[in-house]
């Protein structure tokens, strides 16, 4: 069973035992979302993170009203909206492909949602221009979407979703189509925009780095269930299970056998790469409160500010160690016997079978 998260104040979104199955029972039934309990706070930047097929998008579509739950409930600021149509919910969605109207100018694209809501022409134009200015596109308001870069189109989609002032904005991998540099720039812009508007953002991504940098809290999905909910720090430093430890960051998971032989106890543990120390002289001198194992260097990956050294430990797992600049050149290092040590307090213990 998954974890459960509740708060005292009225949350922006409350999911209770939310379940969605596709297909038919006993034939091709898929449990896309499986008993999710979650409170998302007002004004929070909440990310849903998980591998492909883990149910993130389905949860988002259930909140938006594009899908109806098989069972369970969805509350928006305390009101049950589980059976309501999308337009009856005070939420809006930004899709990965932006879904802009190609034949309309930016200002008409952004004003569209206001027209559907019956707002007068002069007012909706004014609001649309305001919204475009908020994303630094005021000067392009007469252009068509085809006359913009990918990042600019992304901003138009944002302006269009925000112009109706939704309580909650749903974002489904909105940066997925952008190149790395632009993606990193948009991550910062999006986060700043969210903070200045104070609107609750629910952000779907399979990119763990993106989730870690942007979110107030993250929900990690696995097989339609929430595996863990927490801040970036909690998720990375205190994973509660092997799935989260493996999915978020490099886990360096030490299994039950090696755990028992080093510490005489059950369970398994994780030591993050930056918490491991590599000794090129292969010394395994014992220090109080620390453990050490010999191993063989199998490869190096240079990552700019540091180098990731992969070491196959004797009687243990293959681990990644993060090493600073003082590194012998690769030819002399691969195949070398080294030792790897860590402080006992940097071993994060995971419960058995989790
Ligand atoms: P991705 O990152 O690839 O978008 P996801 O975590 O968002 O993945 P979902 O799209 O929510 O995952 O899918 C969860 C599961 O439900 C998958 O097994 C998927 O095949 C299934 N599924 C989703 N939508 C439907 C549908 N309309 N009909 C049948 N099965 C579906």
Statement to judge: residues 224 and 261 lie in one domain: no
Residue whose entry in the numeric block shows the structure tokens 């007469």:
142
Find the residues whose C-beta lies inside 6 A of ligand 1: 22-23, 30, 32, 50, 52-58, 206
Q: Which residue in this structure is represented by tokens 């974890």? A: 3
Q: Model confidence at 24, in pLDDT bands (50, 70, 90)? A: confident
Same domain, 105 and 228: yes
Q: What does residue 111 show for φ and ψ, rounded to 5 degrees?
A: -75, -10
Rounded to whole angstroms, the Cα distance separating 232 from 208 reads 10
ipTM rounded to 2 decimals: 0.95
* pLDDT value at residue 75: 97
CATH number, residue 278:
2.40.50.140
Q: Per the domain annotation, does 322 fall within a domain?
A: yes
Last residue of one domain, picked from the residues 222, 247, 272? 247
Q: What is the pLDDT of residues 324-342, one digit of tens each?
A: 866 766 667 899 999 999 9
pLDDT tens column, 147-187: 998 888 888 998 999 998 899 999 998 888 778 888 888 89
Is 231 in the same domain as 132? yes
Tokens of 262: 């080093």
- Which of 216, 247, 278 marks a domain boundary? 247
Cα 51 to Cα 320: distance, rounded to the nearest angstrom: 22
Compute the distance between CA of residue 1 and CA of residue 288 in angstroms, rounded to an integer.
38
Spacing, Cα 222 to ligand 1 middle (Å)? 12
- Reported as type and span, the H/E element at residue 30 is strand 30-40
The sign of the torsion formed by the CA atoms of 122, 124, 128, 130 equals: positive
The string of pLDDT tens digits covering residues 101-138 is 999 999 999 999 898 888 899 999 999 999 999 888 89
In this model, does residue 66 exceed pLDDT 70?
yes
H or E stretch including 191? helix 180-197
- In this structure, the answer to whether residues 242 and 261 fall within a common structural domain is no
**Whole-angstrom Cα distance, residue 262 to residue 239?**
21
217-274 pLDDT, tens digit per residue, is 999 999 999 999 999 999 999 999 989 999 998 889 999 999 999 999 888 999 999 9
Measured in Å, residue 320 CA sits from the centre of ligand 1 at 32
Q: Return the ligand 1 atom nearest residue 206 CA.
A: 2
**Which has the closest alpha carbon to 172: 248, 63, 86, 93?**
93
Mutate to test the pocket of ligand 1, among 19, 53, 222 (most ligand atoms within 8 A of CB): 53
The minimum-distance atom of ligand 1 relative to the CA of 58 is 11
Write down the pLDDT at residue 253: 93
- Alpha-carbon distances of 224 from 21, 39, 279, 320, 324, rounded to whole Å: 10, 16, 42, 30, 39
Instruction: Find the helix or strand (DSSP H, E) in which 190 lies.
Output: helix 180-197
Atom of ligand 1 nearest to the CA of 221: 6
Q: Which range marks the domain in which residue 204 is found?
A: 13-247
Arithmetic mean of pLDDT over the chain: 90
Q: If you compute the radius of gyration of the chain from its CA atoms, what whole number of angstroms results?
A: 24
Beta bridge partners of 45: 201
Q: What is the CATH number of the domain that holds 59?
A: 3.40.50.300
- Residue 50 banded pLDDT, cuts 50, 70, 90: very high
Residues 74 and 88 in one domain: yes
pLDDT of residue 186: 85
Domain count, the chain: 2
Domain termination residue (choose one: 247, 265, 300):
247
Pair 20, 33: CB distance under 8 Å: yes
pTM assigned to the model: 0.87
Q: Which residues of 261-289 are buried (b: 16+ CB within 10 A; e: fewer)?
A: ebeeeebbbbbbbebbbbebeeeeeeeee
Do 237 and 342 share a domain, yes or no? no
Bridge-based pairing of strands 348-350 and 268-270 is antiparallel
């Amino acid at each position: 069973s998954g974890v459960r998260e509740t708060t005292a104040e009225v949350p922006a979104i409350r999911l209770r035992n939310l379940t969605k199955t596709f297909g038919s029972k006993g034939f091709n039934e898929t449990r896309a979302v499986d008993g999710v309990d979650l409170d998302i706070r007002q004004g929070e930047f909440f990310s849903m993170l998980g591998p492909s097929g883990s149910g993130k998008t389905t949860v988002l579509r259930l909140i938006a009203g594009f899908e109806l739950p098989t069972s369970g409930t969805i509350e928006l600021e305390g009101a049950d909206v589980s059976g309501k149509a999308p337009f009856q919910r005070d939420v809006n969605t930004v899709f990965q492909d932006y879904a802009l109207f190609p034949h309309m100018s930016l200002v008409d694209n952004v004003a569209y949602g206001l027209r559907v809501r019956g707002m007068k022409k002069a007012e909706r134009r004014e609001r649309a221009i305001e919204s475009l200015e908020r994303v630094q596109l005021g000067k392009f308001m007469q252009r068509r979407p085809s006359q913009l870069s990918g990042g600019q189109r992304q901003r138009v989609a944002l302006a269009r979703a925000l112009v109706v002032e939704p309580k909650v904005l749903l974002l489904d991998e909105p940066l997925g189509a952008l190149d790395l540099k632009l993606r990193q720039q948009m991550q910062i812009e999006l986060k700043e925009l969210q903070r200045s508007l104070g609107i609750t953002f629910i952000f779907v991504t399979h990119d763990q780095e993106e989730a870690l940098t942007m979110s107030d809290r993250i929900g990690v999905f696995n097989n339609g269930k929430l595996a863990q909910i927490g801040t970036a720090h909690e998720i990375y430093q205190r994973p509660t299970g092997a799935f989260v430890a493996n999915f978020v960051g490099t886990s360096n998971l030490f299994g039950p056998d090696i755990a028992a032989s080093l510490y005489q106890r059950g369970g398994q543990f994780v030591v993050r790469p930056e918490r491991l120390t590599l000794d090129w002289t292969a010394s395994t001198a014992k220090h109080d409160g620390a453990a050490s194992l010999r191993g063989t260097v199998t490869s190096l990956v240079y990552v700019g500010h540091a180098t990731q050294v992969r070491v196959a430990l004797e009687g243990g797992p293959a681990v990644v160690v993060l090493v600073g600049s003082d590194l012998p050149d690769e030819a002399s290092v691969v195949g070398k016997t080294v030792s790897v040590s860590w402080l006992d307090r940097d071993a994060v213990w995971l419960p058995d079978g989790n």
